């Protein structure tokens, strides 16, 4: 069962969303830029690292380590919005642009800063479980363009689709029914 859940989780990541899992590293594409994402919840999970899913509410630290040297020269900002799109792992920046007002769905915003050391850190205290979208915005060092990386994540919630829960429960019910039938057949005396 665990392997099934892991394989379904991996295929969902491959099919959409903005985080690429590469050799146990979470890579955020920001157009042509890339950054390695690690999230921590030091108060509840010590030094355990998280990628797309945060296990529960509370103080959370996001660390973006730049994998593209130009990011050290440009302002980068970070926004967390409630996922009101319903697209989950398949959300893209274009989907967010269609919202009436991204500011009304924003739960956190950290203004732009230039991090010459190549590590951008964000600290936010989640007070509610649910699905969220992280948006990283970065400029270009010479042409004035703006690039965005969008990555969905959950806080204290499972990312497996509801239909999967029904399939697992139906499978368990069938196993239980088979067990009951086989047990009764073994107890029934055979007559000739």
Tens digits of residue pLDDT in 80-111: 999 999 898 899 999 999 888 899 999 999 99
183 assigned to some structural domain: no
The count of structural domains within the chain is 1
Q: Is residue 184 part of a domain?
A: no
Strand locations in 90-173, DSSP E? 106-113, 119-126, 130-139, 146-155
pLDDT digits (tens, 9 = 90+) for 139-184: 998 898 999 999 999 999 654 555 666 777 788 888 888 888 887 7
Number of H-type helices and E-type strands within the chain? 4, 10
Q: Are the CB atoms for 110 and 77 separated by under 8 Å? A: yes
pLDDT of residue 47: 83
**CA angle at 35 for the pair 88 and 50, rounded to the nearest 5°:** 55
Residue 181 lies in a domain: no
Domain for residue 146, yes or no? yes
Domain-embedded: residue 8:
no
Range of the domain at 71: 15-157
Cα separation of 88 and 90, whole Å?
A: 5
Percent of the chain with pLDDT over 70: 80
CATH of the domain at 91: 2.60.40.2550
Check: pTM over 0.85? Answer yes or no. Answer: no
């Amino acid at each position: 069962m665990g392997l099934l859940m892991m394989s379904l989780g991996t295929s969902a990541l491959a099919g959409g969303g903005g985080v690429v899992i590469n050799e146990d590293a979470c890579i955020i594409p920001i157009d042509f830029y890339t950054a390695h994402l690690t999230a921590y919840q030091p108060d509840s999970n010590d030094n355990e690292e998280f990628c797309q899913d945060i296990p529960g509410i509370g103080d959370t630290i996001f660390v973006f380590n730049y994998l593209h040297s130009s990011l050290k020269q440009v302002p980068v900002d970070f926004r967390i919005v409630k996922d009101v799109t319903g697209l989950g792992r398949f959300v893209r920046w274009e989907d967010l642009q269609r919202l009436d007002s991204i500011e009304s769905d924003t739960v956190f915003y950290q203004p732009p800063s230039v991090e010459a050391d190549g590590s951008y850190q964000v600290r936010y205290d989640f007070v509610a479980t649910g699905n969220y979208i992280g948006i990283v915005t970065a400029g270009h060092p010479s042409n004035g363009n703006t690039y965005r990386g969008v990555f969905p994540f959950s806080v204290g919630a499972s990312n497996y689709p509801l239909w999967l829960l029904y399939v697992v429960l139906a499978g368990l019910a069938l196993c239980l029914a088979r067990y009951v039938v086989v047990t009764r057949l073994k107890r029934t005396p055979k007559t000739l």
